[in-house]
Amino acid sequence: MAPDNASTTPTGYVQPDIDVRALTEILDGKYGEIRRLVRTNLATYASVLEEADELGIDAFRERVREIVVDMAATGQTGMGFPTVYGGGGDVGASIAAFETLAFGDLSVLVKVGVQFGLFGGAILHLGTERHHDAYLPDLITGELLGCFAMTETGHGSNVQALGTVARYDAAHQEFVVTTHGDQARKDYIGNAARHAEFAVVFAQLEVGGKSEGVHAFVVPVRVGGAPAPGVRIEDDGRKMGLNGVDNGRISFDGVRVPREALLNRFADVSPEGVYESPIENPNRRFFTMLGTLVQGRVSVGGAGINVAKVALAVATKYAVRRRQFATSQAEEQLLLDYGLHQRRLLPLIARTYALHFAQDVVRSQLHDVFSGVEDDERARRGLESRAAGLKALGTWHATRVVQECREACGGAGYLAVNRFAALKADSDVFTTFEGDNHVLLQLVAKGLLTDHASEFEDLDQLGMVRYVTNLAVETVIERASVHKLLERVRDLLPGGDEWDREAGLLDSEYQLAMVRFREEHMLVGVARRIKRGIDQKRDPGAVFSQVQDHVIALARAHVERLVTEAFVEKVRALPEGDEKEALALLCDLFALSTIEADRAWFMEHGRLTVQRSKAISREVNDLCRKVRPLAVDLVDAWGIPSEMLRAPDLVG
């Protein structure tokens, strides 16, 4: 397709001419079919975007339930379940479907996530055949709705400290589930306030007076539409957004469920009351259970990236329609022809592409682990870390992009008839649910500091500090191997020891070397700081608290390195052509704007001279000007159904 706007181009540079359909195919990858199905479904139910504004909260909750059940009938939402129960038997496709669904109303998305991802996922991954047979067929059609009761009022991120108790009563071969105090109330639970018949409840298992840690149980919470005996349900009420999802609080007053209600894939209790598990270490058992739920994080991260696409598509289309202020000529200039407006939107488009390709990698790892293609301890740890990191970066990206794009559309962006109101309110909590982003980044850093050691599961924060301390800091340095890295870089890049001064800014090896150097250097730095604090006999908690900002910076640097690698590798693997050229421009824009954003750190650590730092800023500006004429094609290639852009005043 011809670029929408002729532009003067620097000498020798030939602007790529993007074939939008071809680029969409590159982006859709191997999941084109399921993504097309979801796009069709989104268009079919497009009226939900208006209904979200127009219906009252009760009616909207019912409408969303209806749409979710209808979509389930098309096979869209059941891709992750075994075919024998009516599912699609393709984990990767289930994530791709979820990502694509994020172009539409996010209450529908989150209700799908709660029902099929959280509730269904827990039954599938923590349960055994008896649970699968009992629940999966009706769960997959949406006939049986359930909820995932993990979070409590007093405990969000710290699941090991949950207060709900499930005591085994051997005499009756039942578990007795009890909420101890308001802080142990299950809270913010999607599907709880209205629709769930069953809940997967996470509770401290007590057998014969001994606590065996957190386990999951299937508990009926509603019978004939009313709360089951002993179950108290409150409505969380109106929320900032996602008001089509019925979040609520659940308390249990000695609710009895049969012994078989324990989701017993990783542990069981015999009728006589003997606890047994194939995984001996309780911490490892706990983290193995939690680990099976990693798909939720992969899903939410991917959804965040696609939310960003919707906002950027609206803002970009607006910016090539709207004129503001005259400059040279009498005619006012298009917004996107202003350098500042390019600076605001185009690096965000580049980062969205980068995150998209990074999401491809984590989705594919998830698929391999859960399909048994590559499922060992190390692969699972790598997947969990990548999922946590990408969830954090993807959802923060969504928050930032939605805000920037709303502002870039001015007052028109503020009207509910356009999409920003819903996008902003609905996606806000993405940074919190499925793991608070800051907590997730600490998990990522912990993995790096301990090299995902097998002892990993035993380590709480304090344990981690001790572990890093006991480990000779030299070992970390050796593993991080800044020096080895520098040697590798010297071989790859011209300039030898001066590689960071001599290499071309547009050489992707240079860009990779920079983000790799940053990560390795930060890793060693954090390890040293922790060791120094402990050597000075200071309180380990205080030491960790004090290095916490370095820990977060390390995790960010790690994830940005993974994202950069994913983008660079994707571009390299493409056949020659205009699409490859366009993506290479975007990749440069992403990598250099990422380095630019942290240029203070690179200067502080001797990897960027003042001159080169300024040169990078100039190059980012140049790249923005080159990407400008491609902008509309780049957002069109995301294949967002036009109904989902809504925004009649902005793009119509």
- Positions in 84-103 near its own copies (CB under 8 A): none
The dihedrals phi and psi of 18, each to the nearest 5 degrees, come to -75, 135
Among the listed ranges 15-23, 489-497, 601-609, 633-641, the one in contact with its own copies (CB under 8 A) is 601-609
Neighbours of 467 (CB within 10 A): 18
Decide: helix, strand or coil at residue 389: helix
The dihedrals phi and psi of 203, each to the nearest 5 degrees, come to -150, 160
CB-based contact 68:251 (threshold 8 Å): no
Q: Out of 410, 496, 504, 648, which residue is the one contacting its own copies (CB under 8 A)?
A: 410
Which residues 498-527 are close enough to bind its own copies by CB under 8 A? none
The Cα 443–Cα 407 span in angstroms is 33
The Cα 408–Cα 384 span in angstroms is 36
Residues touching its own copies, count (CB under 8 A): 77
Q: Could you tell me the two tokens for 512?
A: 């990779």
Nearer to its own copies, 180 or 605 (CB): 605
Residue 411 binds its own copies (CB under 8 A): yes
Neighbours of 146 (CB within 10 A): 29
Nearer to its own copies, 252 or 544 (CB): 544
Which residues 604-633 are close enough to bind its own copies by CB under 8 A? 604-606, 610, 613-614, 621
Residues 6+ apart with CB under 8 A from 56: none
Q: Out of 20, 338, 382, 578, which residue is the one contacting its own copies (CB under 8 A)?
A: 338
Which residues 530-549 are close enough to bind its own copies by CB under 8 A? 539-542, 544-549
Residue 436 binds its own copies (CB under 8 A): yes
Which residues 227-256 are close enough to bind its own copies by CB under 8 A? 236-241
Decide: helix, strand or coil at residue 416: coil
Which residues 47-66 are close enough to bind its own copies by CB under 8 A? 53
Q: Out of 174, 428, 520, 565, which residue is the one contacting its own copies (CB under 8 A)?
A: 428
Q: ∠251-257-263 over CA atoms, to 5°? A: 95
Q: Out of 132, 232, 256, 343, which residue is the one contacting its own copies (CB under 8 A)?
A: 343
Among the listed ranges 103-111, 150-158, 209-217, 564-572, the one in contact with its own copies (CB under 8 A) is 150-158
Q: Which helix (H) or strand (E) holds 64?
A: helix 57-73
Which residues 26-45 are close enough to bind its own copies by CB under 8 A? none
Which residues 298-327 are close enough to bind its own copies by CB under 8 A? 324-327
Nearer to its own copies, 367 or 424 (CB): 424
Tell me, yes or no, if 434 is annotated catalytic.
yes
Which residues 371-400 are close enough to bind its own copies by CB under 8 A? 399
Q: Give the DSSP letter of residue 116.
A: I
Residue 213's Cβ-count burial label (10 Å; 0-12, 13-18, 19+) is: middle
Q: How many residues does the chain have?
A: 652
Catalytic residue among 152, 197, 384, 434: 434
Q: Give the DSSP letter of residue 153.
A: S
Q: Could you tell me the two tokens for 422?
A: 């819903």
Among the listed ranges 221-229, 331-339, 362-370, 514-522, the one in contact with its own copies (CB under 8 A) is 331-339
User: Which positions are annotated as active-site residues?
Assistant: 434
